[in-house]
Amino acid sequence: MSDEMKVTEEYGGSQIQVLEGLEAVRMRPGMYIGSTSASGLHHLVYEIVDNAIDEALAGYCKHITVTINPGDSITVTDDGRGIPVDIQPQTGRPALEVVYTVLHAGGKFGGGGYKVSGGLHGVGASVVNALSQWLRVRVHKNGNIYEMKFSRGTITQEMTIVGKTDKTGTEVTFQPDPEMFDTLEYDYEILRDRMREEAFLNAGLSIQITDARGEEPVSKTMCYAGGIREFASWKNKHKTVIHNDVIYMHGTKGDASAEVAIQYNDGYQENLLSFANDVRTPEGGMHETGFKTALTRVLNAYGMKNGIIKGDDKVSGEDCREGITAIISVKLTDAQFEGQTKAKLGNAYIRTLVDQIVTEQLATYFEEHPATAKIILEKAMMANRAREAARKARDNARRKTGLESGGMPDKLKDCNERDPALCEIYIVEGDSAAGSANQGRDSRFQAILPMWGKMLNVEKARVDRIYGNDKLSPLIQALGGGIGEDFDLNKLRYHKIIIMSDADVDGAHIRTLLLTFFFRYMRPLIEHGFVYSAVPPLYKLTRGKKTRVAYSDEERDAVSAEMRGDSNVKIDIQRYKGLGEMNKEELWETTMDPERRTLRRITLEDAIRADEIFTVLMGEQVEPRKEWIERNAKYAINIDF
Ligand code: TSJ
């Protein structure tokens, strides 16, 4: 009690509130910056930069710099008007002081779920001040340089004019408080990536980030005149896009604005990035909902109107978003963040705004760019067919394979072992190779499944025909884990699934088909590293009664030289044309014996590549297929995964 009295004597009433406010921040920092780990530490920078970005949004600032100084203090500067320094009538204090000492209500992590401020952000300066061991701010304004200093939220130097200037702007340097944070080390890449995002989201704004901690400073300046249009193409930079122009739409309603940029690539991933007031909203929310609804509606309407979609062939929302890269950015003064991590935008009027913008402007864009519209729509219809086919295949698999009854396909030569972790299944191309594999295997733990005794002409067969017919049923049945959404790794009967096919074009096709199938319908198999490619030898070398094999041209030459030794005897070299040429002993020794074989584990990247090749090879369009084959003709023999 007496302490409080003393404070009352020394400070005015409003000062007590100030200290109590900032003390609250130091008592529960997580409430204000999310956490006191690395994420919270970096958040301090974002809070300060937000203020400078507000100045840019107001139209007064073009360039922001962020510097990590030696010792991990941070300096942020802008070339805006400078924080006001005049005395506020309500408090009788300089506005600059109020900015740093008065805790603003709410905050993204606060209880209210609101951000309340004149600008879009700019509530966090006092929070950063409270959590800084020291903080110094300099304002260039009115021809003067004003300076003020703080320690852990309290003033250590009142606002003072320390020099003259002909510029305007704000410069802040702060040292995060070691008493408050678990870690004090800034990660340059994290800050750079976030600043890049800010630069994309605020077209024309230049942000320079510098790491001045090392011998040589590292620095990057980011400025994108095209804003989120460039963001979308940047996201696609390692992808093959299916239309060159980024589709851009924007609009405003009252204080709120929304913009959307779209570009499709030839992949299957949905790459949707949404932001509210430059803050990522990974859980989506009203802006995403508005976008998705409108996109689906516009694509279907365009397809029906132009006779591309007939009758019941409507494409679903998911179909419309296969291969999409979309940036959605909305700005509003009363953003409500909801959900577990306050990462979901709750303002319903934003849904209406985004929906309106996309409905009107995307339809117009499609009218003006029919070729692009057609490409996108065809991709969605392709996605729709694949989804339909997968559903049919699933139904078929359920019916025909009687997963529940546990019936096994006739062609499967199963192993005796029952523990899936110890079991292997070889998927073998062709009947003769399967014959050798059957006789050569160790039947205790190795199962053999022959497939495509007579190759179906995969090159001509369409996606839905392959999945729709029963060619894959025995495989689904043998593996036992089901398919698609129902796939269950726990029911899998083998933990090594080994594709054994020839090193020729047909073999490559079969691997492509199988990998694509696994990738699309049993992806966990690949993610868990259960799929392998057998590596059969390419050459057999014979000297008298001695034979050896080689898996590559280099090895062939080395082995040949070794076998020949000093004598000048002839070594017979035979190239295996296919697995079918090997007898059971040869196959066991070179390709199946766990002690001697080589297996290549299939990675997700391998599968993604297979999926891409498959799409081109099996797709509807003849031209891309022809092009691909021409482009890859010289490699076709070596397509290998
Ligand atoms: F976080 C912060 F407050 F410390 C901070 C603020 C940090 C940085 C790097 C920049 C800023 C900041 C604030 N830059 N520019 C401004 N602008 C204003 O505060 C400002 C200037 C003029 C007027 C006016 O009406 O004349 C109004 C405002 C809000």
Q: Would you say residue 106 has pLDDT above 50? A: no
Q: What is the pLDDT of residues 184-236, one digit of tens each?
A: 999 999 999 999 999 999 999 999 999 999 999 999 999 999 999 999 999 99
| Banded model confidence at residue 113, pLDDT cuts 50, 70, 90 | very low
Instruction: Clarify whether residues 361 and 421 are in a common domain.
Output: no
Is residue 293 domain-resident?
A: yes
Instruction: Clarify whether residues 234 and 368 are in a common domain.
Output: yes
Instruction: Clarify whether residues 354 and 415 are in a common domain.
Output: no
Instruction: Clarify whether residues 260 and 355 are in a common domain.
Output: yes
Task: Read off the CATH number of the domain in which 450 is found.
Answer: 3.40.50.670
Instruction: Clarify whether residues 438 and 463 are in a common domain.
Output: yes
Catalytic residue, chosen from 79, 322, 429, 606, is 429
Q: Which residue, judged by its Cα, is nearest atom 8 of ligand 1?
A: 52
Percentage of the chain modeled with pLDDT above 90: 61
Q: What is the pLDDT of residues 509-559, one digit of tens each?
A: 788 888 988 988 899 999 999 999 999 999 999 998 888 999 889 999 999
Alpha-carbon gap, residue 281 to 51, rounded angstroms: 20
Is residue 548 domain-resident?
A: yes
Instruction: Clarify whether residues 299 and 383 are in a common domain.
Output: yes
Q: Which of 190, 222, 254 is the last residue of a domain?
A: 222
Mark whether 502 is an active-site residue.
yes
Confidence at residue 120, expressed as pLDDT on a 0 to 100 scale: 52
Closest CA to 205 of 116, 120, 278: 278
Is residue 583 domain-resident?
A: no
Confidence at residue 402, expressed as pLDDT on a 0 to 100 scale: 47
Alpha-carbon gap, residue 74 to 139, rounded angstroms: 16
Q: What is the number of domains present in the chain? A: 4
Structure tokens at 369: 């760019």
Average pLDDT value for residue range 82-98: 93
52 Cβ inside 6 Å of ligand 1? yes
H or E element, residue 586: helix 584-587
Burial class (CB in 10 A: 0-12, 13-18, 19+), 14: middle
Task: Please state the pTM of the whole predicted model.
Answer: 0.64
Structure tokens at 580: 């079918």
Which DSSP category does 238 fall into? T
Task: Read off the CATH number of the domain in which 254 is found.
Answer: 3.30.230.10
Is residue 592 domain-resident?
A: no
State in Å, rounded, how far the first CA of the chain is from the last one.
Answer: 76
Q: What is the pLDDT of residues 135-145, one digit of tens each?
A: 999 999 999 99
Task: Read off the CATH number of the domain in which 101 is found.
Answer: 3.30.565.10
Confidence at residue 15, expressed as pLDDT on a 0 to 100 scale: 61
Q: What is the pLDDT of residues 92-104, one digit of tens each?
A: 999 999 999 988 7
Average pLDDT value for residue range 573-597: 90
Bridge pairing between strands 424-429 and 344-345: unpaired
Instruction: Clarify whether residues 74 and 120 are in a common domain.
Output: yes
Q: Would you say residue 30 has pLDDT above 70? A: yes
| Banded model confidence at residue 463, pLDDT cuts 50, 70, 90 | very low
| Banded model confidence at residue 109, pLDDT cuts 50, 70, 90 | very low
Domain hosting 425: range is 408-536+600-604
Half-sphere exposure at residue 444, Cβ-oriented, CA atoms within 13 angstroms: 4
Is residue 595 domain-resident?
A: no
Instruction: Clarify whether residues 49 and 151 are in a common domain.
Output: yes
Instruction: Clarify whether residues 201 and 249 are in a common domain.
Output: no
Q: What is the pLDDT of residues 433-460, one digit of tens each?
A: 899 999 999 999 999 999 875 444 443 3
- Measured CA to CA in angstroms, residue 103 lies from 17, 21, 23, 96, 153 at distances of 9, 6, 10, 13, 10
Q: Which of 176, 203, 222 is the last residue of a domain?
A: 222
Task: Give the distance (Å) from ligand 1 centre to CA of residue 125.
Answer: 10
Q: Which of 172, 195, 222 is the last residue of a domain?
A: 222
Q: Would you say residue 464 has pLDDT above 70? A: no
Instruction: Clarify whether residues 68 and 215 are in a common domain.
Output: yes
Catalytic residue, chosen from 54, 259, 502, 606, is 502
Is residue 34 domain-resident?
A: yes
Instruction: Clarify whether residues 246 and 368 are in a common domain.
Output: yes
Catalytic residue, chosen from 506, 527, 581, 589, is 506
Task: Give the distance (Å) from ligand 1 centre to CA of residue 122.
Answer: 8
User: Does residue 457 contact residue 437 with C-beta atoms inside 8 Å?
Assistant: no
Mean pLDDT of the chain: 86
Is residue 7 domain-resident?
A: no
Instruction: Clarify whether residues 179 and 123 are in a common domain.
Output: yes
Confidence at residue 576, expressed as pLDDT on a 0 to 100 scale: 87
Neighbours of 631 (CB within 10 A): 11
User: In the 3-class helix/strand/coil scheme, how is 270-304 assigned residue by residue?
Assistant: CEEEEEECCEECCCCEHHHHHHHHHHHHHHHHHHH
Confidence at residue 618, expressed as pLDDT on a 0 to 100 scale: 62
For residue 171, the ligand 1 atom closest to its alpha carbon is 9
Crossing angle of helices 505-521 and 370-401, in 10° steps, is 80
Structure tokens at 190: 């994290």
Average pLDDT value for residue range 169-184: 97
User: Does residue 469 contact residue 462 with C-beta atoms inside 8 Å?
Assistant: no
| Banded model confidence at residue 389, pLDDT cuts 50, 70, 90 | confident
H or E element, residue 51: helix 38-57
Is residue 292 domain-resident?
A: yes
